[in-house]
Protein backbone atom coordinates (compact mmCIF):
# COMPACT_ATOMS: atom_id res chain seq x y z
CA UNK A 1 0.00 0.00 0.00
CA UNK A 2 2.81 2.38 0.93
CA UNK A 3 4.69 1.61 -2.26
CA UNK A 4 1.53 2.20 -4.33
CA UNK A 5 0.91 5.60 -2.68
CA UNK A 6 4.51 6.66 -3.24
CA UNK A 7 4.31 5.57 -6.86
CA UNK A 8 1.05 7.52 -7.35
CA UNK A 9 2.56 10.65 -5.91
CA UNK A 10 5.63 10.30 -8.11
CA UNK A 11 3.43 9.78 -11.15
CA UNK A 12 1.38 12.89 -10.27
CA UNK A 13 4.57 14.96 -9.91
CA UNK A 14 5.82 13.75 -13.27
CA UNK A 15 2.48 14.61 -14.92
CA UNK A 16 2.50 18.07 -13.25
CA UNK A 17 6.00 18.78 -14.49
CA UNK A 18 5.10 17.71 -18.01
CA UNK A 19 1.95 19.86 -17.93
CA UNK A 20 3.86 22.90 -16.70
CA UNK A 21 6.45 22.42 -19.43
CA UNK A 22 3.69 22.26 -22.04
CA UNK A 23 2.00 25.38 -20.63
CA UNK A 24 5.30 27.27 -20.57
CA UNK A 25 5.92 26.30 -24.18
CA UNK A 26 2.40 27.33 -25.20
CA UNK A 27 2.68 30.68 -23.41
CA UNK A 28 6.11 31.25 -24.90
CA UNK A 29 4.76 30.43 -28.34
CA UNK A 30 1.85 32.83 -27.84
CA UNK A 31 4.17 35.61 -26.69
CA UNK A 32 6.48 34.94 -29.60
CA UNK A 33 3.50 34.94 -31.96
CA UNK A 34 2.21 38.22 -30.56
CA UNK A 35 5.71 39.70 -30.79
CA UNK A 36 6.05 38.54 -34.38
CA UNK A 37 2.60 39.90 -35.26
CA UNK A 38 3.35 43.19 -33.49
CA UNK A 39 6.70 43.46 -35.21
CA UNK A 40 5.14 42.65 -38.56
CA UNK A 41 2.40 45.19 -37.91
CA UNK A 42 4.91 47.87 -36.99
CA UNK A 43 6.93 47.02 -40.07
CA UNK A 44 3.81 47.42 -42.21
CA UNK A 45 2.98 50.75 -40.51
CA UNK A 46 6.51 51.97 -41.06
CA UNK A 47 5.96 51.49 -44.78
CA UNK A 48 2.81 53.62 -44.74
CA UNK A 49 -0.76 53.81 -43.37
CA UNK A 50 -2.97 50.72 -43.41
CA UNK A 51 -6.49 51.33 -44.75
CA UNK A 52 -9.30 50.39 -42.35
CA UNK A 53 -12.37 51.85 -44.04
CA UNK A 54 -14.37 48.92 -42.74
CA UNK A 55 -14.13 50.18 -39.14
CA UNK A 56 -15.11 53.77 -40.04
CA UNK A 57 -18.86 53.24 -39.33
CA UNK A 58 -18.12 51.71 -35.92
CA UNK A 59 -15.84 54.59 -34.94
CA UNK A 60 -18.42 57.12 -36.17
CA UNK A 61 -21.11 55.40 -34.12
CA UNK A 62 -18.92 55.43 -31.02
CA UNK A 63 -18.09 59.11 -31.44
CA UNK A 64 -21.80 59.92 -31.80
CA UNK A 65 -22.88 58.21 -28.59
CA UNK A 66 -24.54 60.34 -25.88
CA UNK A 67 -23.27 63.73 -27.02
CA UNK A 68 -26.02 65.05 -29.30
CA UNK A 69 -23.84 64.83 -32.42
CA UNK A 70 -24.20 62.57 -35.44
CA UNK A 71 -20.85 61.65 -36.99
CA UNK A 72 -20.00 60.34 -40.44
CA UNK A 73 -16.46 59.30 -41.49
CA UNK A 74 -15.35 58.89 -45.10
CA UNK A 75 -12.08 57.01 -44.57
CA UNK A 76 -10.12 55.39 -41.72
CA UNK A 77 -6.56 54.10 -41.60
CA UNK A 78 -3.97 53.00 -39.07
CA UNK A 79 -0.79 55.04 -38.93
CA UNK A 80 2.31 55.80 -36.85
CA UNK A 81 2.47 59.27 -35.30
CA UNK A 82 5.60 61.42 -35.31
CA UNK A 83 6.19 60.21 -31.75
CA UNK A 84 6.14 56.57 -32.89
CA UNK A 85 2.70 55.78 -31.44
CA UNK A 86 -0.07 53.93 -33.21
CA UNK A 87 -3.07 56.13 -34.05
CA UNK A 88 -6.31 55.70 -35.94
CA UNK A 89 -6.51 58.43 -38.57
CA UNK A 90 -9.98 59.35 -39.85
CA UNK A 91 -10.46 61.61 -42.84
CA UNK A 92 -13.51 63.46 -44.01
CA UNK A 93 -15.24 63.74 -40.62
CA UNK A 94 -18.74 65.22 -40.91
CA UNK A 95 -20.49 66.37 -37.74
CA UNK A 96 -24.15 67.34 -37.43
CA UNK A 97 -25.94 68.32 -34.23
CA UNK A 98 -29.13 66.48 -33.40
CA UNK A 99 -30.94 69.83 -33.06
CA UNK A 100 -30.10 70.73 -36.66
CA UNK A 101 -27.81 73.39 -38.10
CA UNK A 102 -24.97 73.32 -40.57
CA UNK A 103 -22.68 70.33 -41.00
CA UNK A 104 -19.14 70.77 -39.73
CA UNK A 105 -16.52 68.97 -41.85
CA UNK A 106 -13.02 68.34 -40.52
CA UNK A 107 -10.28 67.32 -42.90
CA UNK A 108 -8.39 64.85 -40.70
CA UNK A 109 -8.29 63.60 -37.10
CA UNK A 110 -5.71 61.33 -35.47
CA UNK A 111 -7.19 59.35 -32.54
CA UNK A 112 -5.61 57.36 -29.73
CA UNK A 113 -7.84 55.29 -27.45
CA UNK A 114 -7.98 54.23 -23.81
CA UNK A 115 -6.92 50.58 -23.53
CA UNK A 116 -8.99 49.82 -20.43
CA UNK A 117 -12.09 51.35 -22.01
CA UNK A 118 -11.56 49.27 -25.17
CA UNK A 119 -11.45 46.10 -23.05
CA UNK A 120 -14.93 46.95 -21.74
CA UNK A 121 -16.24 47.63 -25.23
CA UNK A 122 -16.11 51.45 -25.01
CA UNK A 123 -14.43 53.28 -27.88
CA UNK A 124 -13.29 56.50 -26.17
CA UNK A 125 -10.34 58.55 -27.45
CA UNK A 126 -7.72 59.79 -25.00
CA UNK A 127 -5.95 61.95 -27.56
CA UNK A 128 -7.15 63.79 -30.67
CA UNK A 129 -5.01 65.66 -33.19
CA UNK A 130 -6.94 67.88 -35.60
CA UNK A 131 -4.97 68.55 -38.77
CA UNK A 132 -5.45 71.67 -40.92
CA UNK A 133 -8.65 73.07 -39.39
CA UNK A 134 -9.98 76.55 -40.12
CA UNK A 135 -10.43 78.63 -36.96
CA UNK A 136 -12.05 82.03 -36.57
CA UNK A 137 -11.84 84.29 -33.52
CA UNK A 138 -14.28 87.22 -33.55
CA UNK A 139 -14.07 90.22 -31.22
CA UNK A 140 -17.44 91.96 -31.18
CA UNK A 141 -17.97 95.70 -30.75
CA UNK A 142 -18.91 95.13 -27.09
CA UNK A 143 -15.50 93.55 -26.43
CA UNK A 144 -16.70 89.94 -26.18
CA UNK A 145 -15.01 87.09 -28.06
CA UNK A 146 -16.51 84.24 -30.09
CA UNK A 147 -14.71 81.20 -31.49
CA UNK A 148 -15.70 79.55 -34.75
CA UNK A 149 -14.44 76.46 -36.55
CA UNK A 150 -14.88 75.60 -40.20
CA UNK A 151 -16.19 77.97 -42.88
CA UNK A 152 -17.65 81.22 -41.44
CA UNK A 153 -21.01 80.68 -43.21
CA UNK A 154 -21.43 77.17 -41.82
CA UNK A 155 -20.16 77.39 -38.25
CA UNK A 156 -23.57 77.62 -36.47
CA UNK A 157 -21.94 77.81 -33.04
CA UNK A 158 -19.73 74.74 -33.48
CA UNK A 159 -16.65 76.48 -32.10
CA UNK A 160 -18.28 77.57 -28.86
CA UNK A 161 -19.99 74.19 -28.38
CA UNK A 162 -16.76 72.26 -28.78
CA UNK A 163 -14.91 74.78 -26.61
CA UNK A 164 -17.51 74.38 -23.86
CA UNK A 165 -17.29 70.57 -24.02
CA UNK A 166 -13.50 70.59 -23.85
CA UNK A 167 -13.33 73.06 -20.97
CA UNK A 168 -15.20 70.60 -18.76
CA UNK A 169 -13.05 68.03 -16.90
CA UNK A 170 -12.88 64.45 -18.24
CA UNK A 171 -15.37 62.39 -16.25
CA UNK A 172 -14.57 58.88 -17.50
CA UNK A 173 -17.95 58.54 -19.22
CA UNK A 174 -19.18 59.16 -22.75
CA UNK A 175 -17.22 59.95 -25.90
CA UNK A 176 -15.13 62.73 -24.34
CA UNK A 177 -14.96 61.21 -20.87
CA UNK A 178 -11.45 59.82 -21.38
CA UNK A 179 -10.12 62.60 -23.60
CA UNK A 180 -7.16 64.39 -21.96
CA UNK A 181 -5.04 65.71 -24.84
CA UNK A 182 -6.10 67.70 -27.90
CA UNK A 183 -3.87 69.32 -30.50
CA UNK A 184 -4.47 71.41 -33.62
CA UNK A 185 -1.72 71.44 -36.20
CA UNK A 186 -1.19 73.54 -39.33
CA UNK A 187 -4.41 75.42 -38.68
CA UNK A 188 -5.43 78.67 -40.38
CA UNK A 189 -6.55 81.26 -37.80
CA UNK A 190 -8.52 84.34 -38.79
CA UNK A 191 -9.04 87.06 -36.15
CA UNK A 192 -11.92 89.41 -37.01
CA UNK A 193 -11.82 92.48 -34.75
CA UNK A 194 -15.11 94.24 -35.40
CA UNK A 195 -14.26 96.99 -32.90
CA UNK A 196 -11.15 98.01 -34.80
CA UNK A 197 -12.57 97.10 -38.20
CA UNK A 198 -9.61 94.91 -39.10
CA UNK A 199 -9.07 91.24 -39.91
CA UNK A 200 -5.85 89.34 -39.21
CA UNK A 201 -4.88 85.99 -40.68
CA UNK A 202 -2.30 83.51 -39.40
CA UNK A 203 -1.56 80.85 -42.02
CA UNK A 204 0.39 78.81 -39.48
CA UNK A 205 -1.25 78.17 -36.11
CA UNK A 206 -0.61 75.29 -33.71
CA UNK A 207 -2.36 74.70 -30.39
CA UNK A 208 -2.32 72.05 -27.67
CA UNK A 209 -4.84 71.50 -24.89
CA UNK A 210 -4.60 69.31 -21.78
CA UNK A 211 -7.69 68.52 -19.70
CA UNK A 212 -7.46 67.90 -15.96
CA UNK A 213 -10.00 67.57 -13.18
CA UNK A 214 -9.76 71.22 -12.07
CA UNK A 215 -8.32 73.08 -15.06
CA UNK A 216 -7.63 73.07 -18.76
CA UNK A 217 -4.51 74.58 -20.31
CA UNK A 218 -2.04 74.46 -23.12
CA UNK A 219 0.29 76.37 -25.45
CA UNK A 220 -0.02 77.89 -28.92
CA UNK A 221 2.11 79.34 -31.70
CA UNK A 222 1.11 81.60 -34.59
CA UNK A 223 2.86 83.27 -37.52
CA UNK A 224 1.29 86.27 -39.28
CA UNK A 225 2.77 88.97 -41.49
CA UNK A 226 6.22 87.54 -40.86
CA UNK A 227 5.89 87.96 -37.08
CA UNK A 228 5.89 85.01 -34.67
CA UNK A 229 3.78 84.80 -31.52
CA UNK A 230 3.88 82.14 -28.81
CA UNK A 231 1.80 81.81 -25.69
CA UNK A 232 0.07 79.70 -23.13
CA UNK A 233 -3.32 79.68 -21.45
CA UNK A 234 -5.07 78.13 -18.46
CA UNK A 235 -8.74 77.93 -17.58
CA UNK A 236 -9.67 77.20 -13.95
CA UNK A 237 -13.08 75.79 -13.15
CA UNK A 238 -13.32 77.11 -9.60
CA UNK A 239 -13.45 80.78 -10.61
CA UNK A 240 -14.43 80.39 -14.27
CA UNK A 241 -11.30 82.32 -15.21
CA UNK A 242 -9.21 82.18 -18.38
CA UNK A 243 -5.66 83.58 -18.33
CA UNK A 244 -3.84 83.98 -21.66
CA UNK A 245 -0.20 85.03 -22.02
CA UNK A 246 1.10 86.14 -25.41
CA UNK A 247 4.85 86.57 -26.06
CA UNK A 248 6.59 87.97 -29.12
CA UNK A 249 10.00 89.15 -30.34
CA UNK A 250 10.98 92.06 -32.62
CA UNK A 251 7.48 92.91 -33.79
CA UNK A 252 7.22 96.21 -35.69
CA UNK A 253 3.69 97.62 -35.13
CA UNK A 254 4.03 100.22 -37.90
CA UNK A 255 3.58 97.53 -40.57
CA UNK A 256 -0.11 97.22 -39.53
CA UNK A 257 -0.86 100.95 -39.55
CA UNK A 258 -2.47 100.80 -43.00
CA UNK A 259 -4.72 97.83 -42.16
CA UNK A 260 -7.48 100.05 -40.75
CA UNK A 261 -8.03 103.75 -39.98
CA UNK A 262 -8.31 102.81 -36.30
CA UNK A 263 -4.73 101.47 -36.42
CA UNK A 264 -3.22 104.53 -38.11
CA UNK A 265 -1.60 105.54 -34.82
CA UNK A 266 0.68 102.49 -35.03
CA UNK A 267 2.66 104.34 -37.71
CA UNK A 268 4.30 106.19 -34.79
CA UNK A 269 5.95 102.97 -33.58
CA UNK A 270 8.60 102.27 -36.21
CA UNK A 271 10.58 100.27 -33.68
CA UNK A 272 11.05 96.56 -32.86
CA UNK A 273 9.06 95.57 -29.77
CA UNK A 274 9.50 92.39 -27.72
CA UNK A 275 7.81 91.23 -24.56
CA UNK A 276 4.62 89.69 -23.27
CA UNK A 277 0.97 90.58 -22.66
CA UNK A 278 -1.11 88.69 -20.09
CA UNK A 279 -4.89 88.98 -20.18
CA UNK A 280 -7.46 87.72 -17.69
CA UNK A 281 -10.78 86.85 -19.35
CA UNK A 282 -14.19 85.96 -17.95
CA UNK A 283 -14.64 82.31 -18.88
CA UNK A 284 -18.41 82.59 -19.34
CA UNK A 285 -18.84 85.96 -21.04
CA UNK A 286 -15.43 85.84 -22.78
CA UNK A 287 -14.84 89.50 -21.92
CA UNK A 288 -11.63 91.10 -20.67
CA UNK A 289 -11.24 91.48 -16.91
CA UNK A 290 -7.76 93.00 -16.76
CA UNK A 291 -4.39 92.88 -18.50
CA UNK A 292 -0.72 93.52 -17.82
CA UNK A 293 2.19 93.90 -20.21
CA UNK A 294 5.95 94.00 -20.02
CA UNK A 295 7.57 95.34 -23.19
CA UNK A 296 11.05 96.24 -24.36
CA UNK A 297 11.71 98.43 -27.39
CA UNK A 298 14.79 98.29 -29.58
CA UNK A 299 16.54 101.03 -31.50
CA UNK A 300 14.35 102.88 -33.95
CA UNK A 301 12.27 105.97 -34.61
CA UNK A 302 9.06 107.35 -33.11
CA UNK A 303 7.21 109.20 -35.87
CA UNK A 304 4.89 112.04 -34.90
CA UNK A 305 4.29 115.61 -36.02
CA UNK A 306 4.89 116.79 -32.43
CA UNK A 307 8.61 115.99 -32.80
CA UNK A 308 11.02 118.26 -34.65
CA UNK A 309 11.33 116.89 -38.16
CA UNK A 310 8.42 114.57 -37.45
CA UNK A 311 10.53 111.85 -35.80
CA UNK A 312 12.40 111.08 -32.59
CA UNK A 313 15.30 108.63 -32.60
CA UNK A 314 15.59 106.35 -29.55
CA UNK A 315 18.21 103.85 -28.43
CA UNK A 316 15.83 101.63 -26.51
CA UNK A 317 12.91 101.74 -24.09
CA UNK A 318 10.90 99.59 -21.70
CA UNK A 319 7.34 99.71 -20.46
CA UNK A 320 5.50 97.91 -17.67
CA UNK A 321 1.82 98.66 -17.26
CA UNK A 322 -1.56 97.20 -16.35
CA UNK A 323 -5.18 97.80 -17.32
CA UNK A 324 -8.00 97.58 -14.77
CA UNK A 325 -11.22 97.15 -16.76
CA UNK A 326 -13.60 97.51 -13.80
CA UNK A 327 -12.16 100.92 -12.87
CA UNK A 328 -11.35 101.97 -16.47
CA UNK A 329 -7.81 102.77 -15.34
CA UNK A 330 -4.43 102.33 -16.98
CA UNK A 331 -1.58 102.01 -14.48
CA UNK A 332 1.82 102.87 -15.90
CA UNK A 333 4.43 101.31 -13.63
CA UNK A 334 7.41 102.48 -15.66
CA UNK A 335 8.11 103.93 -19.07
CA UNK A 336 11.84 104.47 -19.58
CA UNK A 337 13.02 105.92 -22.89
CA UNK A 338 16.76 106.13 -23.65
CA UNK A 339 17.66 108.68 -26.32
CA UNK A 340 20.96 108.97 -28.19
CA UNK A 341 21.83 111.27 -25.28
CA UNK A 342 19.82 111.33 -22.09
CA UNK A 343 16.75 109.48 -20.88
CA UNK A 344 13.14 110.10 -19.84
CA UNK A 345 11.31 108.13 -17.13
CA UNK A 346 7.55 108.23 -16.58
CA UNK A 347 5.03 106.59 -14.27
CA UNK A 348 1.44 107.30 -13.32
CA UNK A 349 -2.19 106.56 -14.16
CA UNK A 350 -4.77 107.29 -16.83
CA UNK A 351 -8.43 107.26 -15.78
CA UNK A 352 -11.30 106.91 -18.23
CA UNK A 353 -9.66 104.25 -20.41
CA UNK A 354 -12.86 102.43 -21.36
CA UNK A 355 -13.96 100.30 -24.31
CA UNK A 356 -14.16 103.38 -26.54
CA UNK A 357 -10.41 103.88 -26.43
CA UNK A 358 -9.67 100.17 -26.95
CA UNK A 359 -11.85 100.15 -30.06
CA UNK A 360 -10.01 103.11 -31.56
CA UNK A 361 -12.76 105.64 -30.78
CA UNK A 362 -12.39 108.85 -28.77
CA UNK A 363 -13.28 108.39 -25.07
CA UNK A 364 -15.63 110.88 -23.38
CA UNK A 365 -12.76 112.09 -21.18
CA UNK A 366 -9.34 111.14 -19.90
CA UNK A 367 -7.57 112.18 -16.71
CA UNK A 368 -3.83 111.63 -16.86
CA UNK A 369 -1.52 111.92 -13.87
CA UNK A 370 2.17 111.24 -14.41
CA UNK A 371 5.52 111.74 -12.79
CA UNK A 372 8.30 112.58 -15.24
CA UNK A 373 12.07 112.55 -14.70
CA UNK A 374 14.70 113.69 -17.21
CA UNK A 375 18.39 112.74 -17.00
CA UNK A 376 21.44 113.95 -19.00
CA UNK A 377 19.31 115.53 -21.69
CA UNK A 378 20.72 118.02 -24.19
CA UNK A 379 19.08 121.43 -23.81
CA UNK A 380 18.76 121.66 -27.59
CA UNK A 381 16.44 118.65 -27.49
CA UNK A 382 13.93 120.23 -25.08
CA UNK A 383 11.82 121.92 -27.80
CA UNK A 384 11.55 118.58 -29.57
CA UNK A 385 10.49 116.58 -26.54
CA UNK A 386 8.29 119.16 -24.79
CA UNK A 387 4.75 119.10 -26.28
CA UNK A 388 3.75 122.53 -27.56
CA UNK A 389 0.41 122.37 -25.70
CA UNK A 390 1.91 121.58 -22.25
CA UNK A 391 2.63 124.58 -19.96
CA UNK A 392 2.93 126.89 -22.94
CA UNK A 393 4.29 129.90 -21.04
CA UNK A 394 6.95 127.86 -19.25
CA UNK A 395 7.85 126.06 -22.45
CA UNK A 396 8.24 129.38 -24.30
CA UNK A 397 10.59 130.74 -21.64
CA UNK A 398 12.68 127.53 -21.53
CA UNK A 399 13.00 127.42 -25.32
CA UNK A 400 14.07 131.07 -25.48
CA UNK A 401 16.57 131.03 -22.59
CA UNK A 402 17.91 127.47 -22.29
CA UNK A 403 19.44 126.43 -25.58
CA UNK A 404 22.85 125.13 -24.69
CA UNK A 405 24.39 122.57 -22.35
CA UNK A 406 23.00 119.44 -20.66
CA UNK A 407 20.12 119.07 -18.22
CA UNK A 408 21.61 116.70 -15.61
CA UNK A 409 18.33 116.02 -13.83
CA UNK A 410 14.84 117.46 -13.93
CA UNK A 411 11.90 116.05 -12.00
CA UNK A 412 8.66 118.07 -11.75
CA UNK A 413 6.32 117.13 -8.93
CA UNK A 414 3.58 115.84 -11.22
CA UNK A 415 1.95 116.33 -14.57
CA UNK A 416 -1.85 116.26 -14.83
CA UNK A 417 -3.66 116.45 -18.16
CA UNK A 418 -7.43 116.40 -18.60
CA UNK A 419 -8.75 115.57 -22.06
CA UNK A 420 -12.42 116.02 -22.97
CA UNK A 421 -14.18 114.67 -26.01
CA UNK A 422 -12.99 117.70 -28.06
CA UNK A 423 -9.42 116.79 -27.05
CA UNK A 424 -8.85 120.04 -25.11
CA UNK A 425 -5.71 119.74 -22.97
CA UNK A 426 -4.66 121.59 -19.85
CA UNK A 427 -1.43 121.36 -17.87
CA UNK A 428 -1.14 121.60 -14.09
CA UNK A 429 2.37 121.18 -12.59
276 compared with 76, residue with greater pLDDT: 276
Q: Which among 58-67, 128-137, 229-238, 360-369 has the top mean pLDDT?
A: 229-238
Q: What is the pLDDT of residue 141?
A: 79
β 365-378/406-410 pair status: antiparallel
Q: What is the pLDDT of residue 125?
A: 84
The domains of the chain are located at 1-47, 50-254, 299-429
Residue among 106, 74, 71, 276 at smallest CA distance from 186: 106
Residues 6+ apart with CB under 8 A from 429: 391, 394, 412, 413, 414, 415
Query: Among the listed ranges 72-86, 174-188, 255-269, 291-305, which one has the minimum average pLDDT value?
Result: 72-86
Euclidean distance between CA atoms 17 and 403, whole angstroms: 109
Q: Which sign does the torsion angle of CA 38, 34, 63, 137 carry? A: negative
Question: Is 278 within 8 Å of 290 (Cβ atoms)?
Answer: no
What is the 3 state secondary structure string of the chain? CHHHHHHHHHHHHHHHHHHHHHHHHHHHHHHHHHHHHHHHHHHHHHCCCEECHHHHHHHHHHHHCCCCEEEEEEEEEEEECCCCCEEEEEEEEEEEECCCCCCEEEEEEEEEECHHHHHCCCCCEEEEEEECCEEEEEECCCCCEEEEECCHHHCCCHHHHHHHHHHCCCCCCCCCCCCCEEEEEEEEEEEEECCCCEEEEEEEEEEEEEECCCEEEEEEEEEECCEEEEEEEEEECCCCEEEEEEEEEEECHHHHHHHCHHHHHHHHEECCEEEEEEEEEECCCCCEEEEEEEEEECCEEEECCCCHHHEEEECEEEEEEEEECCCCEEEEEEEEEECCCCEEEEEEEEECCCHHHHCCCCCCEEEEEEEEEEEEEEHHHHHHHCCCCCCHHHHHHHHHHCCCCEEEEECCCCEEEEEECCCCCCEEC
Query: What residues pair up with 278 in beta bridges, in sequence order?
Result: 245, 292
Average per-residue pLDDT for the chain = 77
Task: Examine the pLDDT at 33 and tell me if it is beyond 80.
Answer: no
Q: What is the pLDDT of residue 421?
A: 47
Residue among 122, 218, 126, 129 at smallest CA distance from 179: 126
Query: Among the listed ranges 118-122, 209-213, 313-317, 425-429, which one has the minimum average pLDDT value?
Result: 425-429
372 compared with 363, residue with greater pLDDT: 372
Euclidean distance between CA atoms 156 and 411, whole angstroms: 58
Task: Examine the pLDDT at 232 and tell me if it is beyond 80.
Answer: yes
Q: Which among 55-59, 414-418, 422-426 has the top mean pLDDT?
A: 55-59
Q: Which among 3-12, 267-276, 350-359 has the top mean pLDDT?
A: 267-276
Q: What is the pLDDT of residue 375?
A: 82
Average pLDDT (349-358) is 75
Query: Among the listed ranges 9-13, 71-75, 199-203, which one has the minimum average pLDDT value?
Result: 9-13
295 compared with 157, residue with greater pLDDT: 295
Q: What is the pLDDT of residue 369?
A: 82
Average pLDDT (17-27) is 59
Euclidean distance between CA atoms 2 and 12, whole angstroms: 15
HSE, side-chain direction, 13 A CA sphere, residue 157: 8
Euclidean distance between CA atoms 155 and 157, whole angstroms: 6
Residue among 166, 149, 138 at smallest CA distance from 107: 149
Average pLDDT (90-107) is 79
234: Cα separation from own chain's centroid: 10
Query: What residues pair up with 330 in beta bridges, in sequence order?
Result: 323, 350
Task: Examine the pLDDT at 340 and tell me if it is beyond 70.
Answer: yes
% residues pLDDT > 90 (the chain):
19
Q: What is the pLDDT of residue 266?
A: 86
% residues pLDDT > 70 (the chain):
69
Confidence bin at 264 (pLDDT 50/70/90) = confident
Query: Among the listed ranges 181-190, 211-220, 297-306, 404-413, which one has the minimum average pLDDT value?
Result: 404-413
Task: Examine the pLDDT at 6 and tell me if it is beyond 70.
Answer: no
Task: Examine the pLDDT at 24 and tell me if it is beyond 60.
Answer: no
282 compared with 83, residue with greater pLDDT: 282
Query: What residues pair up with 103 in beta bridges, in sequence order?
Result: none
Euclidean distance between CA atoms 3 and 10, whole angstroms: 11
82 compared with 43, residue with greater pLDDT: 82
Q: How far is CA 420 from CA 114, 261, 362, 369, 424, in A?
A: 62, 21, 9, 15, 6
Task: Examine the pLDDT at 383 and tell me if it is beyond 90.
Answer: no
Tens digit of pLDDT for each residue in 180-209? 899 999 999 988 888 788 888 888 999 999
Tens digit of pLDDT for each residue in 58-68? 888 877 776 67
Q: How far is CA 46 from CA 52, 78, 160, in A?
A: 16, 11, 38
383 compared with 344, residue with greater pLDDT: 344
Amino acid sequence: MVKAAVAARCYSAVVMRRTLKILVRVVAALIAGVAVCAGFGLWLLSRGPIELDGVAPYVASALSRDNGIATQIDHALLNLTDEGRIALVVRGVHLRRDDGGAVLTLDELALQFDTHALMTGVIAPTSIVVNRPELRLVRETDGSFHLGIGAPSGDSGWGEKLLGDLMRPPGGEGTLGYLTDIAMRDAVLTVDDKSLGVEWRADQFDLSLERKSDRTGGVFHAVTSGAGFTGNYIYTLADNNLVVKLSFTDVNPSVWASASPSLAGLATLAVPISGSITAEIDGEQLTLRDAIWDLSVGQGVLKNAAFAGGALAIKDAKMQAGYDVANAQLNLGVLAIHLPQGSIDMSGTADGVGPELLSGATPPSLDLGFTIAVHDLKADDLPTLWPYYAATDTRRWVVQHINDGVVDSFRPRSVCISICCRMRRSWRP
